[in-house]
Amino acid sequence: MLISISWLQEYFKDSLPKAEEIARVLTMHSNEVEGIEEITLPSGAKDMVLDFKVLPNRAADLLCHYGLAKELGVLLDRPLKPRPVAFAGVEGLYTKDKLTLAIEDEALCLRAAKRYAEDVNVLPSPAWLIDRLAAVGQRSINNVVDISNYVMLSYGQPCHTFDYDKLAGDSNMKEVTVRTGKRGERIIALDDVEYALDDSVIVIADAEKPLDIAGIKGGKSSMIDEGTKRVMLSCCSFSPASIRKTAQKLNLRTDASKRFENNIAREQVALGMEELSRLMARLTGARIAEDVIDIFKNKRERHVLTTTRERIIDVIGCDVSASEIGNILERFSVCAGWEWKLERDTYVVVVPYERSDMYPDLLRDEYASGVEQDLIEEIARVYGYENIPAVLPIEVERPPVLPTYYRSEQLRHFFIERGFSELLTYSFVDKRASGAVRVENPIASDKKYLRTALAPALLERLLASRSQKDVLGIDQVKVFEIGHVFDEEGERIHLALAIEDLGHDHDAKEDAKQVIRDMENMLNIKNIKYDLYTAGGIKHGIVETDLESLVALLPTPVAGEPLPEQGIVSTAYEPISPYPHTIRDIAVWMDGSREALAELLRDKAGSLLVALTHFDTYEDKVGGRSSHAFRLVFQSKDRTLTNDEIVGIMKEIDEAVKAKGWTVR
Amino acid sequence: MIDNRGHKHPLTRIIREMVDIFGDLGFSVVDGPERELEKYNFDMLNIPADHPARDMWDTFWVHDKEAKAKGRSYPERTVLRTHTSPVQARYMEEHKPPLRIIVPGKVYRYEATDATHEAQFYQLEGLMVDRHVTLANLKGVLTTLFTRLFKTASEVRFRPSYFPFTEPSVEVDVTCFICKRNGAECRVCKGTGWIEIMGAGAVQPSVLHRVGLSPDEWKGFALGMGIERVAMLRFGVDDVRLFHQGDLRLVNQF
């Protein structure tokens, strides 16, 4: 949510600290501020805007400026201005003379409040209101519509205004019902889209038709326009789960639906109605009825939570003093409407309604919400997590290693010793193998299925890696993977390996089988079951085995049994170049060690040399000289190399070789 | 000079380092299925259906109509697990505390991929449950973990956060091991001296209650971190997708 600092400032007498300091305090003690931006408002004034990331548990009370002001008051130990005196409507003008209100299902609509207003002047909004909305990225429409928006962004309570004269019924008496939609009913919402309703959708309706999609979006038929004179002010509270389901079904997520589905407290309806009325009177000159029709049968007591200093210390592990706890609770009491007292050693705290996260949640387990842990968290975060020391738990014996993990590490070690590289590939595949499980919502059309085997991906990677052998400085591709595979029955952990066929008389399949035999020797078992992958008549040696079945045959590792060492991890990673590489071979008659030649080549080839491999030696028994052949692989990180560059480098190498008294063959 | 050595994948290397460090602290490796029941992925972790907290995880659902027709269906809807946390509940159902476990494993998120997002990635979950376990213990374990993992004396800092299955919940920052908190220009910590590294918290009482443990008797902490994030920081790899593409130009550097 975007938060305007000038808007926040309205709730405080003393000036607030700089935006950066507010951001720091919120990030360290509340929710994270992800950005700060200075903006110029339509009036030309400046404002600072915070991008405040409200997490789901606080969406009920922090998705508004007043809610955040209370939070900030607690954190900065700075009281808010007192609330303005209660708004009074026009004496003798009654809502009850203008409309009737009924709620059909009080499990779906927890509370509904309506108030009548007349002599409304629909005008452009004043500059200050345009500025406020602009600061948080909202466009001004007219004073009446802007007021509803402003009340929600100030106090969190979504509210709506209906053009009274557009409601069906007698010109001075309307029948308003909060009910569920009927199959076949349709409504055109303010976004000009027509929605089909059914009995899962809550609507506010007049005697004939639905007027809006309750808690989500207003309807076109009763919208405010330039000619609007009489208005029905509306504030309600709905079942969070119902609003969430409807918003998902209609694919219509709005500022209002977000607040309702996050369980904004039903008690906030009164505050919303009061502020809506006050602003309507002030900005549109409206005469507001004295009374509010407010159907509110779901009343409840404020929730009481208790904890002790001992229990707080038991959770956070930090010796917070009684006076510190008292100080924190007092700040909540002064700035955020909490009440607290200390009874013997127990803190008894009355939580204000708007803190839905600290009230029991009927959807959830009894321990899930409205519990002592909620209170401890509040005290701990205000106290400051930075004050918690780092204390290691008491030492215990090293536990036994999970057999599949132990064997996986042992096998990785085995494969790496034999020159295999470990790959991790995607679980998603494009082809439907028999028995393959399908993903209901695939991320792409070529990622619809879960892999039933590792071999196909290993083959694909083997083929792709062949063209990189020079850059990699390898003469054969050998890879393996350990990973989960899936079918309708369940999932298994597989191990697969792939050995490149080198042509001529090489039998890669036999090599792969030999690796299995070596595994059998290493693990001291016989007859490992495996599949030889032969799809498309490939010559490469690819085998796959079920690691879990294998592990089941092996003894369980005992506690304290060490895993094979994996050696020091390199940290010098070089980004992979997307540009092509160029190869040059060179053979040199020389005396001395071939390392001297390698050194010369590396030195002269410079930073463009990405691989240098020795591939041939020829001894001249008579002359006492040797010829060494090297392959140089050149590649740039940021461009395609030109022939001229390579020719230049090779010329320098030639000269350096000559200078040593050696000869290029 | 032909490179005939084999190479371990950087992610399994990082996991192994964590397994060794946590092993010294008494945590044992546990695993669980990647295709997970909705109940374990969400409900047992205090994330009920129709609750906005579910929006925190973009989820792949598994289609099992054909299997159902053949009578081979899972008992309820399944997902590709969105985190390693379901193993917390699975393990606690089967084992009585005190317990210390870690769960390295693959997880899935339904999201568009780019240099910092992947639809599949690796996480490491940690869980400790005992009669007295505090956030100070969590800080102690993490300080040791990062000091050894980043090979430099590290501090951790907690910030408030929210996860349905921990309370209090915290975001964990670690001191920047690249600039050691001296780099105004540091590309990794952007001059803040801190790196956001993981989420953690005290085990939420209802998570204990659902597996039959009394929240009055038992306390715990849980933690979860992305392995790729650690590997990217440690090795300077700038694209998360490289870890999963089976590219030897990456793997053979390790």
Q: What is the mean pLDDT of chain B?
A: 92
Interface probe for B, chosen from A108, A312, A328, A439 (most Cβ of B below 10 Å), is A439
Query: Measured between CA atoms, how close is B116 to chain A, in angstroms?
Result: 15
The parent domain of residue B131 ranges over 10-30+81-251
Pair A346, A306: CB distance under 8 Å: yes
CATH number at residue B179: 3.30.930.10
- Domain made up of A582-664: CATH architecture: 2-Layer Sandwich (3.30)
CATH architecture for segment(s) A2-76: 2-Layer Sandwich (3.30)
Contact A439 B254 (CB under 8 A): no
Q: Which residues of B touch A318 (CB under 8 A)?
A: 134-136
Instruction: Supply the pTM of this predicted model.
Output: 0.92
Residue B164 in any domain: the answer is yes
Q: Say if the Cβ atoms of B135 and A245 lie within 8 Å.
A: no
CATH for the A95-295 domain, from 3.40.47.10, 3.40.30.10, 3.50.40.10, 1.10.3720.10 = 3.50.40.10
What's the Cα-to-Cα distance from B115 to each of B68, B101, B108, B123, rounded to whole Å? 38, 31, 16, 17
Helix, strand, coil percent content, chain A, rounded in steps of 5: 35, 25, 40
Separation in Å, CA of A182 to nearest CA in chain B: 23
| In-domain check, residue B43 | no
Structural domain includes residue B65: no
**Out of A367, A474, A613, whose CB is closest to B209?**
A367
Put simply, the answer to whether B8 touches A412 (Cβ < 8 Å) is yes
Nearest to B26 among A395, A428, A437 (CB): A395
Are A641 and A633 in contact by the 8 Å Cβ rule? The answer is no
Ranges of chain B whose pLDDT falls below 70: 1-3, 66-73
End-to-end C-alpha distance for chain B, whole angstroms:
17
Amino acid sitting at position B110:
Y
Ranges of residues in chain A whose predicted pLDDT is under 50: none
Q: Determine the Cα–Cα distance for residues A114 and A31; give it in Å rounded to an integer.
A: 34
Q: Is residue B230 part of a domain?
A: yes
B chain contacts of residue A264, beta-carbon cutoff 8 Å: none
**Could you tell me if B224 and B123 are in contact, meaning their C-beta atoms sit under 8 angstroms apart?**
yes
CATH of A403-553, one of 2.60.40.3950, 3.30.930.10, 3.40.50.1820, 3.40.920.10: 3.30.930.10
Residue type, A534: T
End-to-end C-alpha distance for chain A, whole angstroms: 72
**Residues in CB range of B221: below 8 A, 6 or more apart:** B126, B127, B128, B133, B134, B135, B137, B138, B141, B166, B200, B201, B202, B203
Span A303-387 CATH architecture: 2-Layer Sandwich (3.30)
Which of B200, B237, B178 shows the shortest CA–CA distance to B13?
B237
Measured at the CA of A253, the angle between CA A106 and CA A117, to 5 degrees, comes to: 60
Closest residue in B to A408 (Cα) is B12
Separation CA B230–CA A572 (nearest Å): 15
Most B CBs within 10 Å: which of A31, A258, A391, A395, as the mutation test of the B interface? A391
Q: For residue B2, tell me if it sits in a domain.
A: no
Residue B234 is nearest to which of A241, A563, A571, comparing CB atoms? A571
- Residues in CB range of A661: below 8 A, 6 or more apart: none
Contact B100 A396 (CB under 8 A): yes
Tokens matching residue B229: 């994030």
Residue among B4, B8, B150 with most chain A CBs within 10 A, to mutate: B8
Q: Considering only CA atoms, which of A651, A413, A59, A499 is closest in space to residue B55?
A: A59
Ranges in chain A annotated CATH 3.30.56.10: 2-76, 303-387
The two tokens of residue B23 are 């092993």
Longest CA–CA separation in chain A, Å:
125
Nearest to A422 among B9, B130, B210 (CB): B9
In this complex, do B135 and A27 lie within 8 Å of one another by their Cβ atoms?
A: no
Looking at residue A607, the DSSP 8-state letter turns out to be G
Decide if B69 contacts B46 (C-beta within 8 A): no
Identify which of A393, A32, A309, A33 has the alpha carbon closest to the alpha carbon of residue B169: A32
> Helices (DSSP H) in A432-502: which residue ranges?
455-466, 469-472
State residue A519 phi and psi, 5-degree precision. -60, -45
- Coil/strand/helix, residue A12: coil
- Judge whether B186 lies within some domain: yes
How many structural domains comprise chain B?
A: 1
Among B31, B221, B21, residue whose Cα is nearest residue B137: B221
Answer yes or no: do B63 and A443 touch at CB < 8 A.
no
For A334, phi and psi rounded to 5 degrees?
A: -70, -45
pLDDT at B3: 67
Residues of A in contact with B97 (CB under 8 A): none
Question: For A92-144, where are the E strands, in sequence order?
Answer: 99-103, 109-118
Task: Tell me, yes or no, whether B115 lies in a domain.
Answer: yes
Q: Which residue has the tokens 């002030």?
A: A282
pLDDT per residue as tens digits for the range B164-197? 999 999 999 999 998 887 777 888 888 889 999 9
The interface predicted TM-score of the complex, written ipTM, equals: 0.95
Crossing angle of helices B10-24/A403-417, nearest 10°?
130
Q: Within its chain, how far is the Cα of A52 from the centroid?
A: 15
How far apart CA A448 and CA A436 sit, in angstroms, is: 10
**Does B198 reside within a domain?**
yes
